[in-house]
Amino acid sequence: MSVAVIGAGMAGISAALQLQEAGLAVELFDKSRGTGGRMSSKRTEQGEFDIGTQYFTARHSAFRAAVEDWQARGWVARWQPRLYRIDEQGLRASEDDQQRYVGAPRMTALSRNLIADIPLHSATRIVELQRSEDGWLLIDSEADHHGPYQQVIVATPAPQAVPLLSAAPALANAAAQAQMEPGWAVCVGFAEPLTLALDAAFVRCGPLDWVCANHSKPGRDSAANWVLQSTPAWAAANLDTPPQEVAAQLLAALADALQTELPEVHFTHAHRWLYARPADHQQWGALAAPELDLYVCGDWCQAGRLEGAWLSGREAAQVLLGRS
């Protein structure tokens, strides 16, 4: 049986791996050149930065087992940051015993290794699904046709899934209900390391949500690279603010939050995530129209975390295989 999976983020990869293990012929499609979706790394003149997923946790036993396997293969590593919390009262250490993991030596190392054996059509944006007697045809933005495939899994953020689901109005309606919130992520290369007792902080005041010394993660070599992430509310109010201005504002917020003067900045790069995280928690797991051979997964069907995406992809594959 042939299956096309649209979206090579963690949900699509997870679904594709399950189906391949079950002996199905799977192909992945992604509009980007690389893989990993929001589990993304940005290569810059000052080294690589994680501009999406910062780290992940593993709570479900099946995901824990997968993470242990990835760790044994050297694709992920444990990250033990000196964690702080920053709020109106100031900074305070906020260490805990939560196990946190990162892709090594960058987040996308995980997606690259995971899909090594799965055919990937990269830089291929699917704009339409057409059902024919022989199965599904995928039409891309260059009007090229792919397929037919007997089954299709859509594994994109909810707003990008809606136009692909016109053949299944119930699925399209569910995806249309699932609102997603934006976020800005700024990479900063300082001229010298910050002399601080913290590697990362959850920020609960001002425009920042999270700040992190990228170089504190295993395998990263530059000792002065930071990632700053905005709150969804600040991003929503600054969707069209020029990237340089976003970087300047979030750097000023960092200096405020840390109550310190920052070293000279060599480099900034700001990335706007239009669909960074689901606004609400859903319990769908995955969505399915088995009579149409059409399935949908993504973090927005389960939980807005890497683990949620993996679980949702696994669920879509299990429903397709008739095991759920």
- Give contact residues for ligand NAI (rule: CB under 6 A): 56-57, 83, 85, 94, 96, 98, 183, 202, 209, 229, 276-277, 304-305
We find the least distance from the C-beta atom of residue 200 to ligand FAD, in angstroms, to be 10
E-strand ranges in 191-298 read 200-203, 208-213, 225-230, 265-278, 287-289, 294-296
In degrees to the nearest 10, what's the CA dihedral of 11, 235, 220, 74? Answer: -10
Q: Does 285 bind ligand FAD (CB under 6 A)?
A: no
Q: Please select the residue that binds ligand FAD; options are 229, 231, 238, 249, rule is CB under 6 A.
A: 229
| Residue whose entry in the numeric block shows the structure tokens 């594994």 | 155
Instruction: Say which entry of ligand NAI, ligand FAD, none residue 155 contacts (CB below 5 to 8 A, set by partner kind).
Output: ligand FAD
Q: Give the contacts of 193 (CB within 8 A, at least 6 positions apart).
A: 215, 223, 224, 263
Tokens of 18: 């399950």
Pairing of strands 151-154, 2-6: parallel
Instruction: Say which entry of ligand NAI, ligand FAD, none residue 209 contacts (CB below 5 to 8 A, set by partner kind).
Output: ligand NAI
Per-residue binder mask for ligand FAD (CB under 6 A), 38-57, x = binder: xx------------xxxxx-
CB 75 within 8 A of CB 114: yes
Q: Give the contacts of 61 (CB within 8 A, at least 6 positions apart).
A: none
Instruction: Say which entry of ligand FAD, ligand NAI, none residue 156 contacts (CB below 5 to 8 A, set by partner kind).
Output: ligand FAD
We find the least distance from the C-beta atom of residue 183 to ligand FAD, in angstroms, to be 5
We find the least distance from the C-beta atom of residue 50 to ligand FAD, in angstroms, to be 8
Q: Does 31 bind ligand FAD (CB under 6 A)?
A: yes
Q: Does 213 bind ligand FAD (CB under 6 A)?
A: no
